[in-house]
Every structure is written in structure tokens, then in C-alpha cells.
């Protein structure tokens, strides 16, 4: 048990230049810790509520002073002086908020407290954060996740004109995490050279990947494969993955997408056929959000057709929510779930989501957000709960790279 002495919060700036919240937790023992909360651009409608001020005279309404005030006021008053463990703390905040989606106090305020308390407890126990997380979740064995790096940005993460939001590489061949990052770095450098040679922009998107104005989604796969080969690797060693974020191009029951440079309007079955063709043509091992967030039948069809070959990952579909994860299992709509702390709003619920996915035999996929900070909590989460995958963007931008650097540090510790 730990006793909170005080909770402080402040408004800081995330990687997209928008405000977010940072929370400081001080325990009676003198242990203290900070945690900051990320924010997504491509968000699911079922995510926990991120409290923004709505005051158009500040940050175009995106300020978080209300969330800051809730931490230092109601939440601090409600929690301080009580002996708490992590689950008790999180349940107390959920009950105190009293809404289904944490909209009264704000999921960003609640999550900031949840993560800062966890870190402070780890410091109090003189444990590495990943060790403390393993204890909280009864995880008996640590494992280093496979990184999947978003090296070409599209969709809502860039103005590249590409429908697919993330084109990722997965360095499955190299053994050590540091070797996986070395291979990824070399592929990214080769990709930059190829883009320059073809007079494409090498500017970067929100998650550190390049954002070139390519002619088609298919061309993105082609240039990445060329980069893999130019860097001296094979597509047996470096695989591909995508986050289609297909809710962003789903309209009136159809998918409006450019295929081979032609605008198409596809049904769920037709876009699944397209994904099947992509898997036959390219070394894809993962498709995230291939269908829109309410297209359960489409997801089920994708899983039926490709679930034996690839990871069918649900993000907007499940939003790290146990109820929706159970629903996806019942409908056989996925075989992997993306894990984002701020989608659900507390550490305890995140841990439950990971544990449930593992019970189903699914592979949890820990993720950053497009508006992120230099907080490395998800790196420790992925290792401490022995998750199979992590994505934190490309090897550019400090808020992306710091997560990978932290995993290399943990790898050395282990």
C-alpha cells in the first residue's frame, strides 16, 4: 500500500504542438514521479473522453486547464491520505468520475494520475518500472517486443495523399532489439535515398515516417521493398505491416480508396479481397484496422480469410476496452488487439485488456499516439507485460525514438 501526499498537474505541449497534461504524484514516503498523457489524431468513437477546455481563445479550444484543475482539485482531495494499491486507485477514480467514458473528470486527467502513481510506487519499491508492472500483472517472464516502425506516413498522419495511414517495417530477422533497430535504421536511410533519387519529398509526418506524394498505396510498398534490398536485407528478414485506419475513408457504407491510382468505391468484401491480393504480392504480416470501427462483419471476413497468415489487429474496433475485446472474440473479428493507454484511461484497465487478449491466444500490440511526449511508459509496459509487438513510429523525432531507446536500455538490464 502507498499513500498519496499530493497530486500536481500542468499543461505541457505534445509532439503536434497541442496541449496535454503532465501529472506529478508525491507519496507520503517521499517517493515521487511524473507522467504525461499522449493524444491521438485518428481516434475511435468509443475511446474514453479526452477533456479539452473548448475555449477558442486558447490553443483553438484544445487547452487542458480543466483536466489540470480536476487533478489538483477533486481528484487530489478524493485520493490523498488513503492507503492504495494500483487497482484500488484506478477503481476509486472510475467510481468518482461516475460516467461510462470518464467524461466528467477527463480520461486524460485520470490516466495522468494512474501512470504517475504507478511510477511513484515503482520508485518507492526501488524497482525498475517494467519490474513493477510485471508484479502488478503477475507476469512471470519478461520479453522484448518486436518493433514495427511506421516509415511512410499517410492518412491523418501526413499530407502525402495516401489512403493507408501507416506503412510499417517489422525486422523479424535480427535477434537482439538493438540489431532490429540497426536494420530498421539502415532501411530508412536507403528509403530516403530512393525517395530523393525519384524527386519525392523526404519531409516527415506526425510519427516520424516520410510523407512523399506517391502515386498510389501500392507504390509505397514497392519503394519500401526496394529500400529493404538496397540496405542489404531480404523480405524474409524485414516484413511489412500496415495500419489502414479505414474508418477515415469509410463513407455511406463503402470504402472510398485509391487502388493502382484509380478512385474506387468498395464493399467490405471487395476491400478484403484487395487486402488478400496485397498479402499475396507483398510480405505483409499485419493489417491493423483494415475495416471501419463498426464493420464487424468485414473484420470477421478479413480474419476468416487471412487470420491464419497475418495479424488482424483491431484498434478503433476495440479501443483497449474489455467489453469490445470480448465482442471481437465472440464474432471472431480479429486475432490481435492494439493497446493504447489513453483509449481506456487507466493502467489497471489496460492491464486487464492485455491479459484478456493473452487468454484468447491473441498477441497484444502496444502503441504510441500521433500526438505524443517523451514519456517512455509504453516501453516498460510492453516488456513488463511480455507483449509481442510495439509501435512507436519511425526512427525520427525524439518522442518516437525515446521509447525504442528505453527498450534497448531494458534489454541491457536483462
Give the count of beta carbons closer than 10 Å to the beta carbon of residue 248. Answer: 19
- Name residue 251's beta-bridge partners: 254
Q: Is 391 annotated as a binding residue?
A: yes
Is 46 labeled as ligand-binding? no
237 is in an annotated binding site: no
Q: Which of the following is catalytic: 72, 128, 207, 293? A: 207
Q: Does 47 qualify as catalytic in the annotation?
A: no
Task: Confirm or deny that 165 is annotated as ligand binding.
Answer: yes
Q: H-type helices in 54-210, by residue range? A: 65-70, 76-79, 86-97, 107-124, 129-137, 177-197
**Distance set, CA 271 to CA 83, 255, 301, 304, 313 (Å):** 53, 7, 10, 14, 16
Decide if 207 is catalytic. Answer: yes
Q: Which residue has the cell 510480405?
A: 283
State yes or no: 49 annotated in a binding site. no
Q: Report whether 288 belongs to an annotated binding site.
A: yes
352 is in an annotated binding site: no
Three-class SS state of 163: coil
Q: Is 126 annotated as a binding-site member?
A: no
329 in a labelled binding site = no
Phi, psi of 51 (to 5 degrees): -80, 120
The phi, psi pair for 307, rounded to 5°, reads -60, -20
**Closest C-alpha among 229, 160, 137, 145 to residue 191:** 229
Asked whether residue 243 is marked as a ligand-binding residue, the answer is yes
d(CA 184, CA 298): 32
Please tell me which residue in 62, 180, 239, 340 is annotated as part of the active site: 340
Distance CA 189, CA 158 (A): 19
How far CA 372 is from CA of 4, 157, 206, 366, in Å, comes to 27, 13, 9, 14
Judged by DSSP in three states, 285 sits in: strand
Active site residues: 207, 340
- Report the binding-site residues for (2R)-2-phosphoglycerate: 165, 340, 369-370, 391
Q: Which residues are annotated as a binding site for substrate?
A: 157, 166, 288, 315, 367-370, 391
Q: Which residues are annotated as a binding site?
A: 157, 165-166, 243, 288, 315, 340, 367-370, 391
Amino acid at each position: 500500500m502507498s499513500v498519496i501526499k499530493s497530486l500536481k498537474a500542468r499543461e505541457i505541449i505534445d509532439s503536434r504542438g497541442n496541449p496535454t497534461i503532465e501529472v506529478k504524484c508525491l507519496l507520503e514516503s517521499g517517493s515521487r514521479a511524473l507522467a504525461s498523457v499522449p493524444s491521438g489524431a485518428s481516434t475511435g468513437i468509443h475511446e474514453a473522453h479526452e477533456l479539452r477546455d473548448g475555449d477558442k481563445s486558447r490553443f483553438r479550444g484544445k487547452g487542458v486547464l480543466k483536466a489540470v484543475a480536476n487533478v489538483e482539485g477533486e481528484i487530489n482531495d478524493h485520493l490523498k491520505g488513503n492507503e492504495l494499491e494500483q487497482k484500488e486507485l484506478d477503481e476509486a477514480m472510475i467510481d468518482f468520475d461516475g460516467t461510462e467514458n470518464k467524461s466528467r473528470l477527463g480520461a486524460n486527467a485520470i490516466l495522468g494520475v494512474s501512470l504517475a502513481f504507478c511510477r511513484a510506487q515503482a520508485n518507492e519499491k526501488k524497482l525498475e518500472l517494467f519490474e513493477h508492472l510485471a508484479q502488478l500483472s503477475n507476469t512471470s517472464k519478461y520479453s522484448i517486443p518486436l518493433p514495427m516502425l511506421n516509415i511512410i506516413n499517410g492518412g491523418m498522419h501526413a499530407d502525402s495523399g495516401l489512403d493507408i495511414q501507416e506503412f510499417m517495417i517489422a525486422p523479424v530477422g535480427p535477434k537482439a532489439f538493438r540489431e532490429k533497430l540497426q536494420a530498421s535504421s539502415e532501411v530508412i536511410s536507403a528509403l530516403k535515398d530512393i525517395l530523393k533519387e525519384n524527386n519525392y519529398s523526404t519531409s516527415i509526418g506526425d510519427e516520424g515516417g516520410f510523407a512523399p506524394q506517391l502515386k498510389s498505396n501500392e507504390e509505397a510498398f514497392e519503394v519500401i521493398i526496394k529500400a529493404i534490398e538496397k540496405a542489404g536485407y531480404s523480405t524474409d528478414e524485414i516484413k511489412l505491416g500496415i495500419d489502414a485506419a479505414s474508418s477515415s475513408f469509410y463513407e455511406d457504407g463503402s470504402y472510398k480508396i485509391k487502388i493502382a491510382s484509380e478512385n474506387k468505391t468498395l464493399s467490405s468484401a471487395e476491400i478484403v479481397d484487395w487486402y488478400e491480393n496485397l498479402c499475396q504480392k507483398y510480405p505483409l504480416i499485419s493489417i491493423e484496422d483494415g475495416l471501419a470501427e463498426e464493420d464487424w462483419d468485414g473484420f470477421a471476413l478479413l480474419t476468416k480469410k487471412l487470420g491464419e497468415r497475418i495479424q488482424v489487429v483491431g484498434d478503433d474496433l476495440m479501443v483497449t476496452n474489455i467489453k469490445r475485446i470480448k465482442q471481437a472474440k465472440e464474432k471472431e473479428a480479429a486475432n490481435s488487439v492494439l493497446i493504447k493507454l489513453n483509449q481506456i484511461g487507466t493502467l489497471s484497465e489496460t492491464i486487464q485488456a492485455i491479459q484478456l487478449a493473452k487468454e484468447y491466444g491473441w498477441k497484444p500490440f502496444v502503441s504510441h499516439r500521433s500526438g505524443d511526449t517523451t514519456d517512455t511508459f509504453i516501453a516498460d509496459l510492453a516488456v513488463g507485460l511480455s507483449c509481442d509487438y510495439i509501435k512507436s513510429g519511425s526512427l525520427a523525432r525524439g518522442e518516437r525514438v525515446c521509447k525504442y531507446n528505453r527498450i534497448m536500455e531494458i534489454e541491457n538490464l536483462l
